[in-house]
Amino acid sequence: MTYLKSFMALSLILFQIFLPPFANSSVYNPQVAEMLSEANPHRWMGWVRALSGANPIQTADGLEKIMTRSSLVMFEPDAKPSAFDYLIEELLRLGFVEGQDFQIHNYGFPYGDRYPQRNWKNIILSFQGDDPKRKNEHVLFVAHMDSTSDNEYLIAPGADDNASGTAGLLEAASILQHYRFGRTIDLIWFSGEEKSRIGSSSFVEDYADWLPNIVGVVNMDMFAFDGDGDRCFEVHAGTLPGSQEIGNLIGSVIEAYDLGLTYDFLDDENAYPFSDHDPFWKKGVPGVLIMENSFYHPDETCGKSDRNYNYHRTSDTISYINNDTGFSILQAGIAVVAHLAQPLPQKLTGTIDISIPGKAIQLD
Ligand SMILES: [Zn+2]
User: What does the pLDDT look like over 131-186, one tens digit per residue?
Assistant: 999 999 999 999 999 999 999 999 999 999 999 999 999 999 999 999 999 999 99
Q: How far, in Å, is the centroid of ligand 1 from the Cα of 221? A: 5
pLDDT reported for residue 350: 59
d(CA 63, CA 79): 15
User: What does the pLDDT look like over 84-137, one tens digit per residue?
Assistant: 999 999 999 999 999 999 999 999 876 666 666 678 999 999 999 999 999 999
Question: For residue 260, which of 194, 332, 203 has the smallest C-alpha distance?
Answer: 332
Which residue type is seen at 40?
N
Q: How far, in Å, is the centroid of ligand 1 from the Cα of 85? A: 20
Decide if pLDDT at 245 tops 70: yes
Q: Mean pLDDT, to the nearest integer, of 199-223?
A: 97
Q: How far, in Å, is the centroid of ligand 1 from the Cα of 17? A: 42
Q: How far, in Å, is the centroid of ligand 1 from the Cα of 76? A: 21
- Let me know how long the chain is: 364
Q: How far, in Å, is the centroid of ligand 1 from the Cα of 196? A: 11
pLDDT reported for residue 288: 98
Question: For residue 330, which of 181, 167, 217, 177 has the smallest C-alpha distance?
Answer: 167
Whether omega before 106 lies within 30 degrees of 0, making that bond cis, reads no
pTM of the model: 0.90
Q: Mean pLDDT, to the nearest integer, of 205-231?
A: 97
Domains of the chain are 25-341 (3.40.630.10)
Q: How far, in Å, is the centroid of ligand 1 from the Cα of 144? A: 7
d(CA 132, CA 154): 48
d(CA 300, CA 297): 6
Q: How far, in Å, is the centroid of ligand 1 from the Cα of 311? A: 9
Q: How far, in Å, is the centroid of ligand 1 from the Cα of 109? A: 20
d(CA 295, CA 301): 12
Beta bridge partners of 265: 235
Q: How far, in Å, is the centroid of ligand 1 from the Cα of 223? A: 9
Alpha helices in the chain (DSSP H): 3-17, 30-38, 41-51, 71-74, 83-93, 164-176, 198-206, 241-256, 278-282, 323-340
Decide if pLDDT at 347 tops 90: no
Instruction: Tell me the C-alpha to C-alpha distance, in Å, between residue 89 and each of 76, 86, 178.
Output: 17, 5, 20
Decide if pLDDT at 226 tops 70: yes
Q: How far, in Å, is the centroid of ligand 1 from the Cα of 235? A: 14
Decide if pLDDT at 320 tops 90: yes
Q: How far, in Å, is the centroid of ligand 1 from the Cα of 13? A: 48
